[in-house]
Structure 1
Amino acid sequence: MSVQARCSTRVALTLMICASMIALAGCSSVQGASDRIAGIVKPYRVDVVQGNFVSSEQVAALQPGMGRQQVREILGTPLVSSLFHADRWEYVFTLKRPGEPLQTRKLTVFFKGDLMDRAEGDDMPSETEFVASLGKRSGSVKVPALEATPEQLARFPAPAQSAAAPAALEPAPTSYPPLEAPMR
């Protein structure tokens, strides 16, 4: 091999080594930059809300002797109602937020027959307290007014009470007519 060929091979080898070193140095600076960006940018983590939120105002509206439909209108459909425990409804509410402890609230409504006997459970926050607790994480959040003013209520006419309307709801029928006429 000639001197000129050896020299050009040596130059080519030197250039390849320099290019490799530059590429490796560039990779480490890119990696460092991406690590710094990943440390700053956090992925969005969604709040997980499950169950029925029950406020202290709703619990205060419950009265012993109410029918199941009346309780359902105040609290909503129960999260858990068991065939084996038909005399109670379970209202469970959980809120899981990233970086905060899990919030769980439970309320059990007991029935005797079709009438409410009692309600037991955790102390429930008012609607205002609950809305305010949702905004704590993101900074200052203005809590909206949760009560209607007399002017707002005046916009909606009161439902007319007819003299023939019964004072209490009648129980649902226990037997139903046939769906089809009998065959002749």
Structure 2
Amino acid sequence: MHRSLVPLLGAVLLGGCASSMQSTDDFLGVITPYRIDIVQGNVVTKEQLALLRPGMSRSQVRDILGTPLITDPFHAERWDYIFTIRRPGTEAQRRSVVVRFEGNAMASVEAPELPSERDFVAGITREGERKVPKLELTEEERKALPLPQRREAPAAEPMGAVRSYPPLEAT
């Protein structure tokens, strides 16, 4: 009787520990596990989408948007650009852009309202993190920059050993 009761009691105790651990993300109320940001896919912005034109070749589309996340051999006329980001404490983001081709030429693009590059960077920056860097200088800031100094090129020195040879004579 004792032999069958000990494993049963152990299973009940361990089952209780497991259910309390699953209900919270912290261990003993002090230690919380580190959760990483999960970023997958291709970020497509308004600026990239504005560069696409019907009739562009597949290689031109790939140069602008990058390699598609999904290229299905059964649907060769369709490229899917999917982007997801999951961060602890925030709602997951998911965007899907579908590019359709007729032969080698782009026919159409299906996309939701996409953020600009600046909006995207601002949207993934957490409070307390570093601020978004300034991407461009104003014209006044460019004029205020010092001009680069011109460097004089050093005189070219002969390369290799210098030898003198006797003149060739015809015999």
Partner of 2:128: 139
SS for the counterpart of 2:107 is: strand
CA contact (8 A) 1:88 1:111 kept: yes
CA contact (8 A) 1:87 1:110 kept: yes
- Return the TM-score normalized by structure 2: 0.61
| 2:103 match | 113
CA distance in structure 1 between the partners assigned to 2:40 and 2:28 by the alignment: 31
In 1, the alpha carbon distance for the partners of 2:115 and 2:60 equals 22
Quote the Cα distance in structure 1 between the aligned partners of 2:57 and 2:137: 27
Gaps of 5+ in 1: 1-35, 156-184
Residue pairs, 1:36-75, within 5 angstroms: 38-75=28-65
TM-score (norm 1): 0.57
SS at match of 1:99: coil
**Matched letter for residue 99 of structure 2:** V
Equivalent residue for 1:22? none
What are the residue-to-residue correspondences of 1:75-94 with 2, within 5 Å? 75-94=65-84
Following TM superposition, by how much is the alpha carbon of 1:37 offset from its aligned partner in structure 2, in angstroms? 8.7
Kept in 2: contact 1:91–1:107 (CA 8 A): yes
What amino acid is the match of 2:102?
A: K
Change (3 A) 1:117 1:39: same
Cα displacement (A) at 1:97: 0.8
Q: Supply the distance in 2 between the matched residues of 1:96 and 1:82 (Cα, whole angstroms).
A: 25
Q: Which amino acid aligns with 1:77?
A: T
| Cα deviation, residue 77, structure 1 | 0.2
Residue identity (%): 50
**Structure 2: any 5+ residue segments left out of the alignment?**
1-25, 149-171
Deviations 1:145-180 (A, max 9, x none): 23477759xx9xxxxxxxxxxxxxxxxxxxxxxxxx
Q: Secondary structure at the match of 1:59?
A: helix
The amino acid that maps onto 2:125 is G
Q: Specify whether residues 120 and 49 from structure 1 end up closer, same or farther in structure 2 by C-alpha distance, changes over 3 A only.
A: same
Alpha-carbon displacement from aligned partner over 1:83-109 (angstroms, at most 9, x marks no partner): 111111000000011122211000000
Q: What is the total number of aligned residue pairs between the two structures? A: 117
Residue 119 of structure 1 and its aligned partner are, at CA, apart by: 0.5
Larger radius of gyration: 1
Letter in 1 for 2:36: V
The aligned counterpart of 2:115 is 125
Equivalent residues in 2 for 1:133-172 (5 A)?
A: 133-136=123-126, 138-139=127-128, 141-147=130-136
